[in-house]
């Protein structure tokens, strides 16, 4: 070994195999980085002994605010919720036919989806290990159905690979695994890893690679019926005189190594994206509606918070009615503020310089979602795709297929874009009509039926949502180290909550966990006082 080279240990090798092989090894790597712990939900904190007559004002009626209001009200606090919008729920939001939405800049949309069809512009799936939100879905009888995240029959599309033609995920994954397994087996056979594995492990690893990679007796990955049983057939098994299957051609390995392929494979093995996942029957806002129905008199809508002051006696919140412009003040003993940091940083709030710096330190991502309604479920009828996600390296990023009403006739809505990063900003700079055209133009590279079957569409670019100005907080490691503890700690009579006050930004679970922590802090301070 030459000077400057890093020793490739047995542990390194197994980790590399694990990253290719799937979830188990990836979970271990993520755990080491502190990103893979299950939800820390352990039940609702003990809020017994609430001071008689204690009043709490909750700012924002997203899930964090609704949970805080619900649990504090149950515990005996008098609660008032101030919400900017004309509905509760925040990003727990569903657009249906007849709904209207006006974004920053004045562009207005009227959703024209057929009755029963919808778009979830914000959260659209719930992980099996998000125990807090599952707890409240169960408590409120919110019906859930499977969200099909992973579908071998969906497509992978790379602009500069496979001549721009979409490929089935099962084909590219099988060819990736097979080629990598063959290369690694060759390296082992030629002694390239003798320093990394024992003889016993070498034999076991060769057996594993042969089976996992679908290699032949010479440890090569070659076209054949055995391989086609993993990827696909040129002619699938049938019956009668022409019932014999025919093997499919393998894809060029150079194209299989395109980043969109391995990034797609990695996506499906990441901890947050592993099955089983769920969605509420009828739309994600069923959860927000369930919370709100248990707070029939506590929520004031159309209330724009402009200032938050506190002293040793209580909290005063100044807000304006967005319909009449009338200015009001609400006083309380305590405040749970769940406003997104992108908005709170523009509000006059009486907190320390350290907390003010924390509020201003975190930028927000710009995601964009586009829902497209088609006359028929051509992805099911023509391509046998039932749920799941197809990925592309275009700005739309993905196409996600509906997970309900399989085999139904009539119109259906699929998610035609979930643009992140630059793609999100580019789509945000377009008019709603231009976004739909972009989604059709890019989507027809995957599904040529798009133009013929298209009926209507709706889009939400989160950087243009007036009450969010972004989709979710994007903590950097340095910013979190410098500001996170200042952000989440209760200061005086004010405590912050929301997914930005968690390690799960962008997930509803993060919002709920932060809210539970906030009300625990508040109750401890209130009872001590």
> How does pLDDT run across 453-467, given as a tens digit for each residue?
999 999 999 999 999
Q: What is the pLDDT of residue 43?
A: 86
Confidence band for 15, pLDDT divided at 50, 70 and 90: very low
Residues 315-342 pLDDT 10s: 999 999 999 999 999 999 999 999 999 9
For the cut 90, the answer to whether the pLDDT of residue 470 exceeds it is yes
User: For every residue of 256-289, which 3-state class applies, written as one string?
Assistant: HCCHHHHHHHHHHHCHHHCCCEEEECCCCHHHHH
Q: Is the pLDDT of residue 412 over 90?
A: yes
What's the confidence (pLDDT) of residue 62? 98
Query: Is the alpha carbon torsion for 373, 422, 130, 361 positive or negative?
Result: negative
pLDDT value at 18 more than 50: no
Backbone angles phi, psi at 99, to 5 degrees: -70, 150
Residue 196's pLDDT is 82
- What is the token pair recorded at 472? 């979710």
With bands split at pLDDT 50, 70 and 90, how would you rate the model's confidence at 195?
confident
For residue 38, what pLDDT is reported?
A: 61
* pLDDT confidence tier of residue 26, bands split at 50, 70 and 90: very low
Whether residues 279 and 410 fall in one domain: yes
279 and 376 fall within a common domain: yes
Q: Is 134 left (phi over 0), alpha (psi -120 to 50) or beta?
A: alpha
Residue 193's pLDDT band (cuts 50, 70, 90): confident
Query: Is residue 515 one of the residues assigned to a domain?
Result: yes
Q: How many domains does the chain have?
A: 4
Amino acid 14: pLDDT: 46
For residues 78-93, give the mean pLDDT. Answer: 98
pLDDT number for residue 198? 85
CATH number of the domain at 431, please: 3.90.660.10
Task: Tell me, yes or no, whether 279 and 412 share the same domain.
Answer: yes
Which domain does 30 fall in, by range?
1-37
- Is residue 11 scored above 60 in pLDDT? no
Q: How confident is the model at residue 41 (pLDDT cuts 50, 70, 90)?
A: confident
Mean pLDDT, range 467-471, rounded to an integer: 96
Statement: residue 12 has pLDDT above 60: no
Confidence of residue 370 (pLDDT cuts 50, 70, 90): very high
On whether residue 234 sits in a domain, the answer given is yes
- Asked whether residue 425 falls in the same domain as residue 509, the answer is no
Indicate whether 49 pLDDT > 90: yes
Assess contact for 371 and 458: CB atoms under 8 A: yes
Is residue 306 in a domain?
A: yes
In a domain, 423, yes or no: yes
pLDDT at 145 over 50: yes
pLDDT attached to residue 28 = 37
User: Across-strand partners of 101?
Assistant: 109
How many CA atoms, within 13 angstroms, populate the side-chain half-sphere of residue 307? Answer: 8
Residue 398 has pLDDT above 60, yes or no: yes
Same domain, 279 and 385: yes
Examine the pLDDT at 478 and tell me if it is beyond 50.
yes
CATH code for the domain of 303? 3.50.50.60
Of 185-199, 231-245, 409-423, where does mean pLDDT reach its minimum? Answer: 185-199
- The residue-averaged pLDDT of 28-46 equals 60
Q: Which of 464, 495, 516 is the last residue of a domain?
A: 464
Pairing of strands 144-147, 277-280: antiparallel
Burial class (CB in 10 A: 0-12, 13-18, 19+), 231: buried
User: Dmax of the chain from CA atoms?
Assistant: 88
Average pLDDT, integer, range 36-48: 79
Mean pLDDT of 96-105: 97
**261 part of a folded domain:** no
**Same domain, yes or no: 432 and 401:** yes
Closest CA to 507 of 144, 71, 124: 124
The reply to whether 479 and 356 lie within a common domain is: yes
In the predicted structure, residue 180 carries a pLDDT above the cut 60? yes
Q: Is 421 helix (H, G, I), strand (E, B) or coil?
A: helix
- Helices 169-189, 10-21: axis angle to 10 degrees equals 160
Residue 294 lies in a domain: no
Residues 245-301 pLDDT 10s: 999 999 999 999 999 999 999 999 888 899 999 999 999 999 999 999 999 999 999
- List beta partners, residue 514: none
- Looking at the fold, whether 191 and 231 belong to one and the same domain comes out as yes
What is the reported pLDDT for 101? 96
Confidence check: pLDDT of 19 > 50? no
Backbone region of residue 227 per phi and psi (left: phi > 0; alpha: psi in -120 to 50; beta: other values): alpha
Within-domain flag for 196: yes
Sign of the torsion formed by the C-alpha atoms of 18, 22, 27 and 30: positive
Q: Are residues 279 and 411 in the same domain?
A: yes
Confidence of residue 170 (pLDDT cuts 50, 70, 90): very high
Are both 355 and 482 inside the same structural domain? yes
Instruction: Provide the CA 58 distance to its chain's centre, in angstroms.
Output: 26
On the question of pLDDT at 36 being above 70, the answer is: no
For residue 197, the model assigns a pLDDT of 81
Query: Over the chain, what is the mean pLDDT?
Result: 92
Domain boundary residue, one of 413, 437, 464: 464
Q: Are residues 279 and 393 in the same domain?
A: yes
Does some domain include residue 48?
no
Q: Are residues 110 and 83 in the same domain?
A: no
């Amino acid at each position: 070994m030459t000077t400057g080279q890093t020793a490739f240990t047995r542990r390194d090798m197994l980790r590399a195999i694990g990253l290719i092989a799937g979830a188990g090894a990836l979970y271990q790597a993520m755990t080491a980085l502190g990103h893979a712990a299950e939800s820390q939900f352990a039940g609702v904190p003990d809020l017994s002994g609430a001071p008689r007559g204690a009043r709490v004002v909750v700012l924002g009626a997203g899930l964090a605010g609704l949970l805080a209001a619900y649990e504090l009200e149950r515990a005996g606090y008098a609660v008032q919720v101030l919400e900017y919008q004309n509905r509760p729920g925040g990003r727990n939001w569903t657009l249906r036919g007849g709904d209207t939405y006006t974004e920053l800049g004045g562009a207005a949309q009227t959703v024209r989806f057929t009755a029963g069809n919808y778009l979830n512009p914000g959260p659209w799936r719930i992980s099996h290990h998000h125990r807090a939100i599952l707890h409240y879905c169960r408590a409120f009888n919110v019906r859930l159905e499977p969200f099909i995240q992973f579908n071998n029959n969906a497509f992978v599309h790379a602009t500069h690979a496979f001549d721009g033609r979409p490929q089935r995920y099962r084909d590219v994954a099988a060819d990736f695994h097979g080629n990598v397994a063959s290369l690694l087996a060759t390296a082992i056979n030629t002694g390239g890893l003798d320093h990394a594995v024992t003889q016993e492990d070498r034999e076991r690893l060769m057996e594993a690679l042969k089976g996992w990679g679908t290699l032949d007796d010479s440890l090569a990955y070659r076209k054949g019926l055995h391989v086609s049983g993993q990827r696909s057939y040129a002619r699938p098994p049938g019956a009668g005189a022409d019932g014999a299957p025919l093997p499919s051609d393998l894809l060029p390995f150079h194209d299989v190594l395109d980043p969109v392929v391995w990034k797609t494979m990695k996506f499906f093995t990441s901890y947050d994206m592993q099955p089983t996942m769920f969605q509420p029957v009828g739309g994600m806002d069923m959860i927000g509606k369930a919370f709100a129905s248990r707070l029939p008199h506590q929520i004031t809508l159309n209330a724009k918070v402009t200032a938050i002051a506190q002293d040793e006696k209580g909290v005063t919140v100044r807000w304006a009615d967005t319909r009449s412009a009338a200015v009001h003040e609400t006083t309380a003993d305590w405040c749970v503020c769940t406003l997104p940091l992108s908005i709170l940083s523009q509000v006059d709030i009486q907190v320390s310089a350290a907390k003010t710096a924390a509020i201003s330190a975190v930028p927000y991502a710009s995601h964009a979602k586009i829902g497209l309604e088609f006359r028929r479920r051509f992805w099911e009828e023509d391509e046998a795709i039932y749920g799941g996600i197809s990925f592309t390296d275009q700005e739309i990023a993905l196409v996600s297929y509906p997970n309900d009403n399989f085999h139904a006739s009539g119109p259906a809505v699929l998610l035609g874009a979930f643009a992140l990063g630059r793609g999100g900003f580019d789509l945000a700079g377009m008019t709603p009509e231009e976004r739909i055209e972009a989604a059709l133009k890019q989507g027809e590279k995957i599904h040529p039926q798009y133009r013929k079957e298209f009926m209507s569409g709706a889009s939400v670019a989160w950087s243009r949502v007036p009450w969010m100005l972004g989709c979710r907080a994007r903590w950097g490691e340095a910013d979190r180290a410098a500001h996170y503890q200042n952000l989440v700690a209760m200061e005086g009579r004010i405590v912050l909550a929301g997914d930005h006050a968690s390690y799960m930004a962008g997930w509803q679970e993060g919002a709920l966990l932060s809210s539970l922590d906030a009300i625990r802090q508040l109750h401890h301070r209130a009872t001590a006082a």
